[in-house]
Structure 1
């Protein structure tokens, strides 16, 4: 049976998912904002001590890509459901990832397998912003022709690759199947 949520109902559910995510992250001991004492809209140091602590950083591009990819997956897997229900599903997946990503096990895996040696997890503010970036990517994908969405994914992945020698593709590769050659290249 198809699920038809109205946009206001979907918005309420999405806000509920975000609130639940915040509660879980705080219960896990995640810091609300950067312990540095400031909140920055952009933090552009790839492996700096304040990475994943502010509103946006180079990894925000990966979350926009999540949204573009989640839109495509939801469009394919949830054909009988409207756009609001698909946005709720995408938000649920992204919020779940933000929680899993900030567990001690995944933080340790990032440190062991990737170039993120000093990674300590995300602040709650950064996790909220990551979900917002995913929703931006989802909204863009809903409005763009499919070919433009693909071009945008490639452009965002290349931008991050050129700027910080990392992106969503390499991040997934290094988490699943760490490769010394990639790790050495990323380290410069």
Structure 2
């Protein structure tokens, strides 16, 4: 194997390791509905975070843009591919932590995600790949374009599902009841 393929093999190994760790901690491989959709757009259903992509995919693409910027600053001498490996390690670590009972319970306790039960393994895989898409887009695009794309994704998610990466972080770290109430206004009646 040529040395230029080593980072790509490392990325594949990280995705596999995250899947195996999640399986070991009890995450399900696919949606309990028995099938995998390429896209699942209903954030209020039990299929949310269970299929390959969903509205929260935008947040994972944004992770890629953010990780690219941070790693370009922190490790400027590393190749883009090795910075992508580091970014995927960060993303994979978050996927594992996010799917522990500690964080799942926190989401259910302080956010509008009352019925959140964690991600399926296939959804976490999609999140990792989505982060890489954002990372490699950021590596190719001008800074202004990257910033505008992230802002646009945040605005789109806020408009469509009353949630996005910024709101998600706020609600996990410093929950605001007014924000939670606004998010719940988007919920189907009966919630």
Q: Could you say whether these structures have the same fold, taking a TM-score greater than 0.5 normalized by the shorter chain as the test?
A: yes
- Equivalent position to 2:9, from 5, 8, 12: 12
Give 1:34 deviation, angstroms: 0.4
Matched, 1:132 2:129: yes
The match for 2:112 is 115
8 A Cα contact 1:53 1:122, kept in partner:
yes
Alignment of 1:170-181 (within 5 A): 170-181=167-178
Distance 1:99 1:7 in 2: 28
8 A Cα contact 1:43 1:54, kept in partner:
yes
Alignment of 1:47-62 (within 5 A): 47-62=44-59
Distance 1:137 1:39 in 2: 23
Residues 1:163 and 1:7: Cα distance change in structure 2 (over 3 Å): farther
Distance 1:47 1:175 in 2: 19
Give 1:80 deviation, angstroms: 1.8
Number of aligned residue pairs: give it.
184
Partner of 2:89, secondary structure, is helix
- Equivalent position to 2:165, from 162, 168, 173: 168
Distance 1:53 1:71 in 2: 27
The match for 1:77 is 74
Residues 99-151 of structure 1 show CA distances to partners (whole Å, capped at 9, x for unaligned) of: 00000000000001111000000000000000000000001000000000000
Distance 1:7 1:157 in 2: 34
Which stretch has the larger CA shift, 164-173 or 35-44?
A: 35-44
Q: TM-score, normalised by structure 1?
A: 0.96
List alignment gaps of at least 5 residues for structure 1.
Answer: none
